[in-house]
Amino acid sequence: MSRATLTTACAAMLRRDLTLAWRRRGDIAMPVLYALIVTMLFPFALGPEDTLLQRIAGGVVLVTVLLAMLLALDAMFASDIEDGSLEQLVLAPQPLALMLGMKILAHWVTIALPLIVISPLMAALLHLPASVIPVLLLALLLATPLLSLLGAVLVALTVGTRRSGMLLALMLLPLCVPAVIFAAGAVAAAQQGLPWLAPISWLAAALVLAVVLAPLACAAALRIALDS
Amino acid sequence: MTAVRTVVPLLEARAVSFQRQDEPVFAPLDFRLHEGELALVEGDNGSGKTTLLRMLAGLLHLGAGDLLWRGEALQRDLCAGDILFLGHQLGLKADLSPRENLRVATGLHGTREGMDSASLLAEIGLRGYEDEPVRRLSAGQKKRAALARLAMLPATLWLLDEPYANLDRAGIALVNDMLERHTNGGGAAMVTSHGTVSFHGGEPRRIRMHG
């Protein structure tokens, strides 16, 4: 008899969720297309004026990525609850919080990473100077996992409710305000040639806190959701 | 010679009950389950059979009473993985094949000694369907894929909620066979069922539920 080690369990979870996402590749493309289309609407609505678009570019990209992620967040635990996989996961001899952390990581890789990859394109559509793009990418790399983690906690809390999608948006968006302020602040500072390290550090600090606490909160919320 | 049972029971329930919104779901229950034993949980629809099994599995909190695991108060982190639960939701991912589903489960739980997924799936009646997504299998085949997980994982106590549902006659024999092998190997099982169960390893212990 061989017991599973923590590493094999983490690998199994990660592999499972990435395989599932790959089997439904079409779903991955949706948030990406959504983000591209929304970004494209801004020049149409505001006119192709360089200076105006440049000024709003950082903020528009960040908010669009946030909204695109929100579209896919809803489904994070839904199918696992529906088919009983979550019950099996709770009964597995592994720390639930860590396993959920792996799920959140897989979710971030399949939803947020493609958005980060196309963000330079979105920035270019809005004439953001190329020199600012590394800062934008850095801000997104820190802000998107923060949103995934915060979102996961709220998804876990709203899992039993009907129309949880709308409720989720109403609960998550206010919580995202600090992340948006710091990420957009970093991009704006870089655009004006000012130091941008401080807001990025704040984002990183918030991310560290969320990495530690959010999976624990998720695990507690999902246990309560099952216990009814 | 009289065989006096001095062995500590695997699972012991003392006046265990469960309330949902202050309404008792079932009357307080007392039972003991030893290693190598099979218990049949009987009761009408709504008498709380599923609730009992979910509570024993640790998915629901203990309403009242005491649960003892090997003679000591049951602690979930000490017996994690030793108790498996199979309910109406089978816990299979529809987009993965039976083989991939097994691999996820063994990744989380480990493997029972001498088990190998290829021969197990063939034995359980899924030969030729090992790599077919579970969504394309029939209800009975899905059930068999979930049963394969039970057989594959190292665990002492099986909690099976309606394991015979959706299965054909050969499938029912297969469940009985698995239960017999599990109990002969020192495992224990609790099974709920409406239908008549012909367990060929002797008369199972019966736990009667009253709503």
Q: Where do the structural domains in chain A lie, given as residue ranges?
A: 6-226
Q: Residue B152: count other Cβ atoms within 10 Å of its Cβ.
A: 22
Residue A226, CB half-sphere, CA atoms under 13 Å: how many?
27
Pairing of strands B205-208, B38-42: parallel
* Shortest CA distance from B54: residue in chain A: A227
CATH for B11-208, options being 3.40.50.300, 3.20.20.220, 3.40.50.720, 2.40.420.20 = 3.40.50.300
- Do the Cβ atoms of A91 and B84 come within 8 Å? yes
Please give the model's pTM, rounded to 2 decimal places: 0.91
* Residue range A63-78, pLDDT digits in tens: 999 999 998 888 888 8
Cα A123 to Cα A140: distance, rounded to the nearest angstrom: 12
Contacts of A89 in chain B (CB under 8 A): 108
Q: Is residue A196 a contact partner of residue A190, using CB atoms and an 8 Å limit?
A: yes
A130 has pLDDT over 50: yes
Contacts of A78 in chain B (CB under 8 A): none
ipTM of the complex: 0.88
Cα A173 to Cα A177: distance, rounded to the nearest angstrom: 7
- Do the Cβ atoms of B109 and A93 come within 8 Å? yes
Contacts of A75 in chain B (CB under 8 A): none
Contacts of B113 in chain A (CB under 8 A): 1-2
Distance from CA of A225 to the nearest CA of B (A): 10
**Structure confidence at residue A19 (pLDDT):** 95
A159 has pLDDT over 90: no
Q: Is residue B99 a contact partner of residue B130, using CB atoms and an 8 Å limit?
A: yes
Residues 146-205 of B with CB under 8 A from A: 154
Tokens of B206: 């019966």
A95 has pLDDT over 80: yes
What percent of chain A is predicted at pLDDT more than 90? 74
Distance from CA of A76 to the nearest CA of B (A): 14
Q: Any idea which residue has 């959701």 for tokens?
A: A225
B58 reaches A (C-beta below 8 A): yes
Picking from A2, A87, A92, the nearest residue to B59 by CB comes out as A87
Q: Provide the number of CB pairs (under 8 Å) joining chain A to chain B.
A: 103
